[in-house]
Structures are given as C-alpha cells and as structure tokens.
Structure 1
Amino acid sequence: MANQDKTGSLFSEEEMTRVMGGFDFKDNTPVTCLGMEFENDETRRSYFREELRKKLPELRKIEGFPIGEDDDIINLSDPPYYTACPNPWTPEIINEWNNEKETLLKEGKRSNSFNVPFPYSKDISVGKNDPIYTAHSYHTKVPHKAIMKLLYYYTQPGDIIYDGFAGTGMTGVAAGMCEFGSDATRGEERSLGKRHCICSDLSPIASFIAFNLNNNNSAELRNFSAILEDVKQEYGDLYRTKHTNGKYGEIFFMVWSDIVICDSCGGEAKFMDLFSRIGEGRIDDYAICPHCGAEIKRSTCKKKKENYFDNRLGESRERTVSVPYLIVYYYNGHKFRKTPDAEDIALIEDIKNTPNNSWVPTLPLGEGDKMEDPKAKGVYYIHQLYTDRTLFILSKLWERCSMYNKFCLTNSIARNLTKLNRFIVNKYHMNGRINGPLSGTLYVPSEIVEQNIFDLLEVKHSPEVENMNLNNIIQVGDALHNSIIPDQSVDYIFTDPPFGDNIMYSELNRITEAWLNVITNSKDEAIANKTQNKEAADYMRLIQGAFVDYFRILKPGKWMTVEFSNTKASIWNAIQTAIQNAGFVISSVTAFDKVHGGIKSMRYTTSVKEDLIITCYKPNDSILKEINLSNSINIWDFIDDHLNHLPVHIIKGNATTSIVERNPKILYDRMLSYFVANNIQVPLDAGDFQKGLRERYIEIDGMFFTAPQAAEYEEKKKTAPNFVPMGIIVSDEANGIEWLKNLLRNNPKTYQEIQPEWMQAINGLRKGDVLPELRDILEENFIEESDGKWRIADPEKQVDLDKLRFKNLMKEFNIYVEAVNKPKAKPIKNARLEAVRAGFKECYKKKDFITIIKVGEMISPNMLQEDEQLLRYYDVATRHV
C-alpha cells in the first residue's frame, strides 16, 4: 500500500524547500527522549522508527493490529509516543511517568493520602466552540474542558489517565491542559498540574488526529498555508468561470444534478429542474414529467446510468449520470450564480482528460451496513467518491504535504470534498447553500456540491491548535487486547465507547484511512453491525472485553467515568451489564443535560435519550483479596465499602435531593450485580438484606448511611432543609413499588386517592411485560389500615409480605417453566417481569442455568435485552453451559 520511502519523507528536501518558499522546517535543537540524547527531533524520529520496524513482527500478533504495510505504519508513526499500531514503548513511558510522580511528591504537588471518596456531582456546562474542539471534526467527541473538570476531581498532578476509545484524543488534551486550567474549570482545580494520558483507538485516522491535537507541530502546520498557496498558484485557474462582462470570477461551489428517467415515457430531465425550488426554499416530493405529464415521485424516481472508462482501475464501470447544473461564484467581492456555460463544460472535460500521475487511493469501499447507498450510484472505490477536479487537486496537495501537514487535509477529505456533500435550497439563501454530508452515513445525494478546495481548506485550517506539546501515548490499539499496558498502572479512566449501532466507525473512517494507507481492523470493533454479524449480544461481549481490560489496568480503589448515549434500552442495559460483569461497581448514573448544562441523578432506562455519565469504581484491595483467597466476600464489607463511595449530600437550590444509589433497592441491586458477576453465591434475599441494612446503618429520608455519614448528612441538611424525593417513572412493577413507597412514606392514602396518580405515573412499559393491577401490588407489598388507607409495612411485617410475594412470583415463574419444557413450546408473548426476575434469581442460587436459558429464549427479546437483572443472569448462565 505504500508509495513513500523508508525514511518517511514524502518528497525530496529540495522539493520541500521549494514548497515552503525556502523555509528551513528542520529544528536542530538537541532533544532527550526516554533517557537518550539526540542531535535533533528528526534524528530522534528516525531512530525510533527503525526500532519500531524491528518490533512490528511481534506487534502484528496482537489482536486488532491495523491493516497496512510496514512502511505505511512506520511513516504514519512518530515514536516513541505515537505509533499507528500498539505502542511497544508504553511500559517504559509509564515507568518514566511514575518517576516523575516521586519528584512531584517531593515538591509538594502530590500527596500519598490523596483519596476520592464519592463521585463528581456538580454541573458540567461546557460549550463546543473551543478552537481545539472544532479544529477537526469526528463522529463523536466530548469537549476537553468538560473532561478537565473530572480530571481535577478524580486525579492529582502526575496521575496516569487511560481512554481506550480515545477518538480524536480529547482526554489527552484535557490531561495536558490541567497544567493551565481554563474559564470552564475555574474553581474545580484541586491543584493545577499536568496529568499524563494513554489514548488508544482502533481507528488509524482517529489516532492520527489525536496525535496532531496532542503535540506541537506548529512549524509544519504553519507551512500548510504555503503549500496550499503554492498549489493554488499552479492550479487555481481550474476554478475560474466567466462573469457576465466576459471577465473571470472564482467558483465557490458547483452543484451537480442527477438525470431522472420517466417511467411512463422514458423522457429525461434534471433532478434539480424537477424537484428543487431554489428561490422558494423547498424541494418537492412529487413532480410532473415535462414530456408526458406523468407524476414522478422523488424518493423512487429512476436515475440514468452510463458506462465509462475508469483510468485508475483500467476498466469500464457503470455509474449514475450527474451533470453540472449550477455555479455559485465570486466576482469583485460579490457572490453570483449562473448556469454552467460551454466554457465551464469544456474545462470539466479538459480536467477529465488531463493525465494525472499523482497517487490517489483506489481501495474498494468493501462491505458494510452503510456501503450500499454509494454502490447504488456506481461508487465502489474510494477515488470514485470525488469529482475529477477535486481528485486532481487533492492528489497534488497530498503528495506535497508532510505527514503533519496532511492533518489539515484530513478534516475535509472524507466529507466536504466528496460526492457526499449536499446542496440545500433555503429561502434565506437565494443561491442555496452547502449542507455538508448527511451525518453518520455514506449517502450520495442527487444534488452533489463540488466545493472549491482552496476556499474550503483556507477556512478549515485552524492554527490555534499549534501550541500543544503533551507527550501523551497515542496508539492504534484494540481496547480488548491492550496487553502492553501493565496491570494496575492507571490512576483514572475516562472513556466514551461506541454506542451499539449508532455509528459505524470503521465504515465511515474508511475514506480517510484509504489516503493514510492504514485501515481499521474491524474484527473486534465494539458495535452492533449486520454486515459484521454483530448483534446486541455481540456488542455486549465485545464491550465487556474492553471493560475487563480496563479493570485489569486500573488501580484498586480508583474510578472510571463512562460517557454514554444511545436511544435503545437494550444497548444501555448491555453496557451497564458489561461494566458490572467486568468487576466494577456502579456508584452513580447521571444524565448530562447539554441544553441546560446540568447533571441529574438517573436510574431507569426510560431516560436513555439523554447523554449519560456512568461513574464506577474498582473495589479496594481488601475486597479483591477476600474474593481471590476464598471466592467469597462478606456482604456487609461490600456495603460498607460501597456506601463510602456514594455522595453524602447533594444540594439543588435550597433543597436536599435524594441520592438514588442510597435507596435500599438500588443497594441490593448493586450487591447482587457484584456477587453474580464474580460467581459468588448471594447469601440474602431482598427482605433479609433490607432487615440487615436497618440493623447496621441509619435510615434517613429513605436512604441509608453509616453513622458518620448520617451525622454529616443531618448537619448539611440544615443549610437546605427542603427535601426533593427521588423521581421515579413507573416503567415496570419494581419501579411501581418504589413509586408507591415514596408516595405513602409520610402520608398514607386510600386506593381511590392513589389510583389517579398511579395512572399518570405509568409510562413506557416494556413490550411483553404484564403489570399487575394496582390493588394486587398494594396487597402484596403494603398494609391496609382499618380506615382503608394504605401505608408502608413495618420491618417485621415487611419480611412476611416479601415471603408471600416471593411465593406468588415463583408460582407464576413455574408456569413459564412448564410452558417452555413442552414438546412443541411456543414463545411466551406476555410475562410478569418480576416473576421472571425472581425465577432467574432462584435458578441461579440452585445453579439451574439450563432453565434460565430456556425461559430467556422464549420470553420477549425486548424484556430480556432491556432488563438489567434478566440480562445479567442470562449472560452468566450462557457462560456456565
């Protein structure tokens, strides 16, 4: 795949000097790297590249190694800190960072007693208009200033951060910028000081962007403007167009229109003529054939095809016919539009027939969920995604740029310079406007916008990101197989993993990676994807593998923050189950309100439309040793440790707000999750557990505290005396019981008083779940007084109610078991979720994993995939059978 020499230079020094206008781009300052002295940075780079070449045979054995030739991987790398493959210098760099910690400790900038007792609970309000954030587009990003707030809270100067789904490296930027602070983090700083980061991503283009945003390549980046100007001087006339006075203006963009064929008469018309109303700002869904008057539907209209000879492939191909339709151009500082004239068409033909010896990627698009649309237009190879003019000029720029200059090109190379670029009619823009590609797709529109490459790149180039010199580890690596990183070497993890089937990263990145000559290895890409035969269960398996490795490298007692967004409850439950199965304990789930800039406590899957922040921790050494030695754990040791990882008091305005995770049901769920994930027998049922809570801890406002925490809570509550109870949406029976407890805790009510509020609270029941009648739920879980009012049962009575309820639930579960064991068993369309939960739990205690699997396969898939408890038991059962 390579077309570069072994040193990584893309052209001769004489050519470089010409392009740079005589600028000497080499820095001859001596440098020290990993304890070695080098004459200059270029000498350092050459030495480590040769060392990387020697290490590649062994590195290629690591799962997830990218697809590419040795030369391309080496030329894309700037070792030892950045490698376009797993980074073999990681242990050595970490050792150097640990030595720095000792220095910081002596200087009083670190403390051995540093401890973070509970999760971050303040508002996170950070905009996305920072120049570093906007310097390069990518599918998903978290602003580095938002991450800085978390780093200041969870870490201290010198700490080592890890992000295994690093994308464009915002976690690394945040780690380095902690040395300086920002307006967005004012007041958050525990202490200013640089943190170190390991940024790993499966995608070569993501890691390439991360490297450039995390390092100071200012000299090379500044010279991109010189290269751009040089190429413009040579080829700028390819964008000229004649004005009405016979003089020439400069094309801003050209719109190409598909040709539509009428099904009724076979007549041809331009798509834009039929459906677009530029001056009126609309596109019609239907049009009338100008030849026969038949109605043509925009979404299903037939497009004209043509055969052509593809010079790059050396063979004939078929494609959709697209013709020049509209030119928007500048003349004398003003914008005009015109229909392409004969001279414009002739120029396009001249460009098509002009030999171009510069290299362009001819990689096939390959197979994928997003690949069918471009193929429908005859686009099967990367180079076919560009017009002839764009491809010609882009190839000239690419061959003159150093690998660092190419960073400026990659921002547009997969988007606004391709045939994915859309035109939109707009009543506020009489010339129409550029709408860019449709996000998350490879959709080729019927009205393609060909932009002026020089105009676009002059705007896109952002010199404001040139001051970074962070020396973070940047690598292309699989989050499931980061064996190079030593055990328990990381102080904090911030990660923004793939969100199920939301984004097909490897498919969308293929365009830019084709130019880099290094492609994502998608075998273990943690997504749900039909082409890769990966469903929600596969996604959970892969994402769990990443969290298992996260657990291995994180130090005991330290924290992990997972930023997550997905509209599917099944994916939300998959990631939450994966986190807990890996050994982490979830301490809080908060929703990040991007509109109002706040976070609020969350628990239930009806809210997955919002971005979520999942905060969890790795249990401390004593807990882990107890499990390793006896494959058991004292339940109250676990609860002690967990309560000490939860906030004591949260204030909103003048009110104390409920802490969801201190609710007895949630405490039981967290304990249950941890025990099941570690294959430990659960010693108590929910009733006995709650009795034990009341015997050992202090209950206030429906929450449980240790004695010191209770005193702190009461003291702080005096400053915000009003209490805001936990908001619960009744999406299943268990939530309904908690909702009723909140309603009746201080104010018993009659059935007639409860029923209207209950009906309003019910929302979003899972498909297939049977919710019992309100009266049945009351009778099983509450006490009715002589005056007809229902109240919460006393602890002693509650134990009896719980036993009776469990007996009833098991009766129903046994009916399901009997049904699935019949010779011709049919799927169970509707089932009582709480009965299935109780049954799965009892089967787990008896190690009856076959029954869990049988029932799990016969109930509604939605019920299984969208419920955390069922999914957890089912996953454990499948691993034991």
Structure 2
Amino acid sequence: MPLFDCVEVEGRTAKGKPKKISACPHCHKRGITEEISTRDEKFGAVPVLVSYLCESGCKPVRGDRRHNDPNKKKREYFEKYDLGKIREIDGKQCPYWYPKDRMMHVESDIEPWGDEWRPGRNFRTVADLFTKRNLWALAVMLTTINEIENPVLRDAIKFCWNSVLLNLSRMTTNRDRLGFLKGTYYLPQNYRCTNVLGTVANKFRMMLPGWEAIREIDTTAQCISTDDARFLRITSNSIDHVFTDPPYADKEQYGELNFVWEAWLGLDTHWHEDEIIINEVRGKTEEDWAEMMRTAMKECYRVLKPGRWLSLCYHDTSEGTWALIQDIMAESGFIVDQSDAALFIDTGQKSYNQKVADKVNKRDLVINFRKPKPGELTSSIAITGDEDKTTFNEKVHQIIRDYLGANPGSTKDHVYDEVVSRMVRSGQMEAHDFNELLGQVAEEAKIERGKNGGGRWYLKETELVIADAAENAREDAAAEKLGAFIKGFLKKNPGDEGVHYSDLFEHYIYAVKDK
C-alpha cells in the first residue's frame, strides 16, 4: 500500500507521548488503527498523483489525477497516459551525458559510502538520486547550456540550473512549499518529481535582479581564489581582515554534500583526502581535523597584517572542539578579543530543529582574534595548568550566574553562547557537560513547545543570594577603582571642579574588567 494513501491519526510514542502516525485507511474505516511505519520493509516507490496544466482551454486550467482517483476517466488516463509515459522513459537509454559516478567513488554496494549514508538513503550513484525522467531532462538542459557560445551567458544559466539541481531530485518533499532538507541527503517517503523546465525558468526570473546588481560591481577589483586554506598563495602581512567560517568538526559533511553538484559540473571529485573534517567512515579523526585546522589558521596568521583582526565564525555544540579552537588560535600566535559581550550571526533561515528543539546552538558564534604587533606580548592570560575540574566548573557557574542575573528568563542557547564566548576569550575553555552545570545553578520554566525552543531559565533561589553577593562585590570593586581615578584626576587637575562623565565612563570601560 502506498504511504500516500494512509490517513494521519493521533498516536503515541513508546514513552506515551502524543505524535502523528500514518494508519492503514482500510482498517481505519473499520474503526481499527493499524500504524503503517516508515521503518517497516519498503517495496520501492510508485507514482500516485500527477499535477497537470491544460493547454487546450480547459477550466480549471490546473488539475490532478490519482492512481485511485474516484473519477473513472481520470483513473484510466492516469494508467494509460501518465504511467504509460513513465514506463516509456524508463525503458529507454538516455542519449545525453549525465554523471555516472558512484557516491564518493565507493565501489561496494553494501558498505556505507560516507557519513551521510543511511539505510533509508541507500542510493549508490549520483544518478540514483533522480528519477529517470528528471535525469533525462536535466541532461538535455545541461547539454544545451554547454553549447551556448557566450561564456558569460552560459555560466549564468548554468549557475541557475545548478542552483535547483537538488530541488529536482528525489529529496524534494511532497508539501505545499517545495524544498528539501538542507545539510543532509534525506529522502522523504513521499517525494515530488517537479517539472525541470518550469523550475529552472522560475529560478532564472528570481535571479535576474541579482545579476543586474552584479553588473554594476567593478569586478576588476575582486579576486576569488579556491586555494587550499593550508597553502595560501598570498603575500605575508598583506591582508587587512580575515573572516573565516571553518568546518564544524563532524557536524556538516561538506565534501559528501557537494559531491552531487561537483559530479554534474564535471569537477574534480577526488579531493576529499584534503578535506578538513571529522568523518568516521572515511577514517578522518578529530586529531586530523585539529592538525589541518592548525595549519590553516597559521596561514591566516601569516598573511594578516600585524595589529589586524581575524573573525572566526563557529557553530558547534561540542565544548571539546571549542577548547581545540582556543588552543589552535593561541598556538598560531593570535591574541583573543577581550570584549564583554558574546557576538553572533543570527541568520533568518534555520533548520526545523533549530526552530523548535531544545538545542543549545542556534546561532553562529563569532570570536575575534588579533595578530600582535612586533614586540607585543602575545597573551595577557596566564594559564597555570593548575585549574582542576572543580575550578573550571565554578568559573562556568559564575558566568551562568552573571548572565542569568542580568538576563533572567533567557533560553539555554543564549546562556551557552555566553559561556563559550567568555571561556574561549579568556583562554580557559575545556570539555564539559553544559547541561549538568546549568542545572546545578539554574532551573527551567517550560514554555509551549515550538516557541523559541525549550524553556526559560532562571537562577535558583540559593544562587540568587550568591549572585547578589558577587554583584555587590563587583560593584564595590568598581566603585573603588572609580574613586581612586577621581582622586588622582583632581590631584593632577586642581583647578577642575570635578571629573567629566565621559572621562569616568572611558576609565570604567578600560579599567573595570569584571563588570
């Protein structure tokens, strides 16, 4: 039975929580709920619905036919014409070029071809990711594009074609808003085979304003390089600013996810030994990742001008890799920024899990590092090596107290960003159980699931007392420093009646480190 025909009903998880399940429609009519699980044995995919556009003056212009359509004529047309055309296409050899690469060049039909492989997405070649009809249509279009003589026009249209490639694969979900899950090769149980020509044409219209804007840019002043980040062909001490968004350990398998695009474009697909990534299937370890990252960051240090900054954008829930990043940047010679606030890039587009799940990582955190000037000390932070687990945990506790004391009701991800940002900037990041440490000093007030994700966190009553005492101590210390500054200022300037606010504020910003 096609999953498409199942009815959606209320069910329960093994732990008794409510969830939506697919149930057998025949059983459901008899008052029986028989779940059709997507984990059960699968018997392939069959066409169940076709959406068509009438070009002969029909009203309505758009319509659809189903394999079990209640309209007998539509049902007969579906079998004779829709399935007939599909069978005709499937029975022929495509005469146009398309990539025949095996995924990640793995010859086995049994072994995983990469970290992105799953039993439910066991396609073995690039072509397997597409239906025969869309594979054929994409191949025809690519052949035609490659025959365009004008290189600018050819590249523009190929760029447009390439941008919708995965939207035309078996990854496209059967929903009102077409699309696919980003950052994975997830194959939905019910997928939609969309029209190739119409999809490319729509994307082309969307891109036209962008191309018009690009035409106004002086491209002679731009330089785009695809060098290996570990071996930059750039003069030392010549770059004003570096913004880098390096691979997040094992979180995104960029090489595997790019493989389909690169195969279709005829690019080199044998470079993955040089990928900076953690990938258990391909034997790339955390040590490999750290060593390659270290080489890349040293190259950034080399090309950056003394006194200039590197902004490192990173997105990872693993405190261990944050600690590695901290060590790598210090070993490369950088001085970490001492600003008091966590900086982050909060993109508008988020994954489903980022929107609704109780995750601690919903933004890309940004840490700034500076290349010291000649003769400047490379670090003002003293790492004694005597910090044991208790000492480290107490530092994290204090950061949580500070943040929730100033921002009660914050979500877990904001607290996590603050902890990572402050610990990395102080050079004291270590692997730790953030959830456990948070729960020791704060408690969660649950809110409705799906709104901002998870709950709101507040300091426990006992922690409020500790936080108040710590806040009072900080205020007293700050007041003492400001008092000493006022006395010194008036002693040097006996003719002044007082100290201007701007002078006090500037001294507070630079002299009071523990605010």
TM range (shorter): 0.5 to 0.7
Alpha-carbon separation, structure 2, partners of 1:276 and 1:368: 34
Cα gap change, 1:615/1:523 in structure 2, threshold over 3 Å: closer, same or farther?
same
SS in structure 2 of the partner of residue 615 of structure 1: strand
> Is residue 537–residue 574 contact of structure 1 (8 Å, CA) maintained in 2?
no
1:422 aligns with 2:189: no
SS in structure 2 of the partner of residue 302 of structure 1: coil
1:452 aligns with 2:207: no
1:492 aligns with 2:246: no
Cα gap change, 1:527/1:552 in structure 2, threshold over 3 Å: closer, same or farther?
same
Equivalent pairs, count: 368
Cα gap change, 1:408/1:736 in structure 2, threshold over 3 Å: closer, same or farther?
closer
More moved, 497-506 vs 563-572: 563-572
Cα gap change, 1:513/1:374 in structure 2, threshold over 3 Å: closer, same or farther?
farther
Which position in structure 2 is the counterpart of 1:464?
209
Which position in structure 2 is the counterpart of 1:868?
none
1:619 aligns with 2:372: yes
Alpha-carbon separation, structure 1, partners of 2:437 and 2:137: 60
Tell me which structure has the larger Cα radius of gyration: 1
Q: CA deviation at 1:792?
A: 7.6
Q: Deviations over 1:719-740 (max 9, x none)?
A: xxxxxxxxxxx99312445788
Cα gap change, 1:330/1:731 in structure 2, threshold over 3 Å: closer, same or farther?
farther
Alpha-carbon separation, structure 1, partners of 2:173 and 2:361: 31
Alpha-carbon separation, structure 1, partners of 2:121 and 2:435: 37
Alpha-carbon separation, structure 2, partners of 1:490 and 1:739: 37
1:558 aligns with 2:301: no
Alpha-carbon separation, structure 1, partners of 2:273 and 2:345: 34
Alpha-carbon separation, structure 1, partners of 2:404 and 2:127: 64
> Is residue 294–residue 332 contact of structure 2 (8 Å, CA) maintained in 1?
yes
Percent of residue pairs bearing the same amino acid type: 23
Q: CA deviation at 1:619?
A: 0.2
> Is residue 315–residue 364 contact of structure 2 (8 Å, CA) maintained in 1?
yes
Which position in structure 1 is the counterpart of 2:114?
368
> Is residue 129–residue 170 contact of structure 2 (8 Å, CA) maintained in 1?
yes
Q: CA deviation at 1:685?
A: 9.7
SS in structure 2 of the partner of residue 450 of structure 1: coil
Cα gap change, 1:296/1:469 in structure 2, threshold over 3 Å: closer, same or farther?
same
What aligned pairs does 1:520-535 form with structure 2 within 5 A after superposition? 521-535=271-285
Whichever structure has more strand as a proportion of its residues is 1
Q: CA deviation at 1:742?
A: 11
1:440 maps to which of 176, 179, 183: 183
Which position in structure 1 is the counterpart of 2:128?
384
2:381 maps to which of 660, 671, 683: 671
1:733 aligns with 2:486: no
Q: CA deviation at 1:357?
A: 1.9
1:343 aligns with 2:81: yes
With the length of structure 1 as denominator, give the TM-score of the two structures.
Answer: 0.37
Which position in structure 1 is the counterpart of 2:39?
300
What aligned pairs does 1:211-230 form with structure 2 within 5 A after superposition? none
SS in structure 1 of the partner of residue 86 of structure 2: helix
Cα gap change, 1:400/1:502 in structure 2, threshold over 3 Å: closer, same or farther?
same
> Is residue 244–residue 311 contact of structure 2 (8 Å, CA) maintained in 1?
yes
Q: State the one-letter code of the partner of 1:444.
A: L
Q: CA deviation at 1:344?
A: 1.0
Alpha-carbon separation, structure 1, partners of 2:203 and 2:264: 18
1:285 aligns with 2:38: no
Q: CA deviation at 1:276?
A: 5.9
Q: CA deviation at 1:272?
A: 0.8
Q: State the one-letter code of the partner of 2:256.
A: E
Alpha-carbon separation, structure 1, partners of 2:219 and 2:172: 35
> Is residue 249–residue 289 contact of structure 2 (8 Å, CA) maintained in 1?
yes
Cα gap change, 1:608/1:570 in structure 2, threshold over 3 Å: closer, same or farther?
farther
Which position in structure 2 is the counterpart of 1:327?
50
Q: CA deviation at 1:422?
A: 1.1
With the length of structure 2 as denominator, give the TM-score of the two structures.
Answer: 0.61
Cα gap change, 1:525/1:570 in structure 2, threshold over 3 Å: closer, same or farther?
same
Q: State the one-letter code of the partner of 1:732.
A: N
What aligned pairs does 1:762-777 form with structure 2 within 5 A after superposition? 766=434
Q: CA deviation at 1:334?
A: 3.8
Q: CA deviation at 1:741?
A: 9.4
Gaps of 5+ in 2: 10-18, 67-77, 105-112, 147-153, 349-358, 406-414, 420-431, 442-459, 464-468, 478-515
> Is residue 488–residue 556 contact of structure 1 (8 Å, CA) maintained in 2?
yes
> Is residue 510–residue 520 contact of structure 1 (8 Å, CA) maintained in 2?
no
Alpha-carbon separation, structure 2, partners of 1:620 and 1:501: 35
Q: CA deviation at 1:442?
A: 0.8
Q: CA deviation at 1:460?
A: 0.8
What aligned pairs does 1:732-751 form with structure 2 within 5 A after superposition? 732-736=393-397
Alpha-carbon separation, structure 2, partners of 1:299 and 1:622: 64
Q: CA deviation at 1:298?
A: 1.9
Q: Deviations over 1:587-607 (max 9, x none)?
A: 1463336389xxxxxxxxx97
Q: Deviations over 1:278-312 (max 9, x none)?
A: xxxxx9524238499793442322111xxxxxxxx
Alpha-carbon separation, structure 2, partners of 1:731 and 1:272: 53
Cα gap change, 1:595/1:401 in structure 2, threshold over 3 Å: closer, same or farther?
closer
Q: Deviations over 1:795-840 (max 9, x none)?
A: 9xxxxxxxxxxxxxxxxxxxxxxxxxxxxxxxxxxxxxxxxxxxxx
SS in structure 2 of the partner of residue 328 of structure 1: strand
Gaps of 5+ in 1: 1-268, 278-282, 305-320, 425-432, 597-605, 624-632, 640-669, 674-681, 687-729, 745-760, 778-782, 785-789, 796-881
Q: State the one-letter code of the partner of 2:395.
A: A
Q: State the one-letter code of the partner of 1:298.
A: S
Q: State the one-letter code of the partner of 1:381.
A: T
Alpha-carbon separation, structure 2, partners of 1:766 and 1:503: 22
What aligned pairs does 1:501-512 form with structure 2 within 5 A after superposition? 501-512=250-261
Q: CA deviation at 1:417?
A: 0.9
1:272 aligns with 2:16: no
